[in-house]
Amino acid sequence: MSLADDLARQPTAAEAEHRPRTEFDGTSGYVQTGALTEPPASHTELLRQFGYDPDEVEIVGAPRISRWQTFDERWLAAYRFRIAPRQAAASGMDELLARIDSWTAHQPTAASGPHVFNFQASDLQIAKSDNGGTEVIVEKFLESVDRAVTEHQSLAHRGIAGVHILFPGDCIEGNVSQEGRNWWRTEYAVTTQTRILRRLMLHAVEQFAPLTDQVWLSVVNGNHDEAQRFQTTNPGDGWATECAISVADALKMNPAAFGHVTVEVPHPEQGFMTVARGDTIFTIAHGHQWKGGGTAKGSHAFTWWADQSFHQQNPAGAHILAHGHYHTWAVETAKTRTRICSPTFDGGSNYYRDLTGAEAKRGGLVYLTRAGEVTAMSLV
């Protein structure tokens, strides 16, 4: 061997290839593919290859991917999928219709009074995996609805003419935040996220509908709810409002039970809406329309509100700006204006806690409104 050949030699590693393997204990597990030149074409076929029945087991979330280049310059990848028992396969609309059909006619309550009872629930971010994930988010929401119903009953003596349920956005985790980089920390695909959200919206309506003769369900999209970002569509192209529209369509199938329920979302070309609830006017937005924080003169939310008013847009007539996005319960007031920022239902971000130490209270807000004034507010 010549000196040139000897110098050209290199200590090439004998690579340990990824071997197909799987583990599953009946509750959770994983599937690890071997080295592949292309991603698996079908989750169903992949499950069958590993001996699972796709009717009993499903792949959840996005795969963890390992990529490497071989000595002959080919790129290979191995995929690790999480698996879990398959959840009920009924379609979202079929299930909603079945539940709605089972309700008997609404019995008028004849409740009257000067107040509207508000339940404000923002930033559920369904499928976010941090701090308990979706299971804890759903449990907290259901608990919050129960507490809100109790609060409604305890405040009924003040005179409540209607119930306003607000979802100010980021209802699901989605798959578009941070250009999709949040996807590996997301437990379920978007279709499953929206199915859960529809059920939770309907649950809230079902709990309040028998208590009053007027229910409003108000829903706007947050940045996590956006359907896509790779091309520009419109502000209404979001999953939260689509779920609300599905619930509205289903409620119409039983007008005797739910004819007193009104569902509203913004115009497709607008990301927020200004609506009257009783004698109080709300502007409902998510909050990503402005930056957090503010100046000595007030928050950036008040600045956005003031700009809308200066240009004579509809928020000029609002008494209340209800929003989410900042994951912190906050109230800011002027003489005739009140800003109400929701806390969060998700468990917070591990990244943000590690960076700042900050954590937020979980839950929804309940409060009464009358002629633009807010009273009896509490976290539930």
- What residue segments make up the domains of the chain, in order of their start? 15-85, 92-379
Task: State the burial class of residue 168 (Cβ atoms within 10 Å of its Cβ: 0-12, 13-18, 19+).
Answer: buried
pLDDT at position 87 is: 67
Report the distance separating Cα 268 and Cα 251, nearest Å.
21
Least confident range from 16-30, 46-60, 153-167: namely: 16-30
Task: State the burial class of residue 278 (Cβ atoms within 10 Å of its Cβ: 0-12, 13-18, 19+).
Answer: buried
Least confident range from 66-75, 158-167, 254-263, 299-308: namely: 66-75
Mean pLDDT of the region 351-369: 81
Report the distance separating Cα 139 and Cα 124, nearest Å.
11
pLDDT at position 352 is: 62
Give pTM, 2 decimals.
0.75
* CATH 3.30.479.30 matches 92-379: no
